[in-house]
Amino acid sequence: MTTFDQNALFQAACAARTHAYAPYSGFRVGAALLCEDGRIFTGCNVENAAYPLCTCAERTALCAAISQGARRFLAIAIAGGTDEDCTQPCAPCGG
């Protein structure tokens, strides 16, 4: 199994979370996706006034990776919440 820096991956998710657009829920989420080749792709949640049409952070990270040719992934870190300090991981949205 490949080893990687879990803390660095989580910090990348926290950094991505700062770009979230969550004016309705206030629940900002960032995701960092580690590819097999070592690249990390990030994403954040983007809410829409038509609330079910929001895009989750995991999906935006995955779309960024796929659009750059990545196809094999090792890990994902997700950080979310309404707090400012970004200290807790977050479960995937399930979508």
Catalogue the active-site residues. Answer: 58
Asked whether the beta carbons of 30 and 14 are under 8 A apart, the reply is: yes
Q: What are phi and psi of 17, to 5 degrees?
A: -60, -30
Distance CA 40, CA 54 (A): 23
User: Cα 3 from chain centroid?
Assistant: 20
What token pair was written down for 37?
A: 């080749």
Nearest to 95 by CA among 68, 71, 61: 61
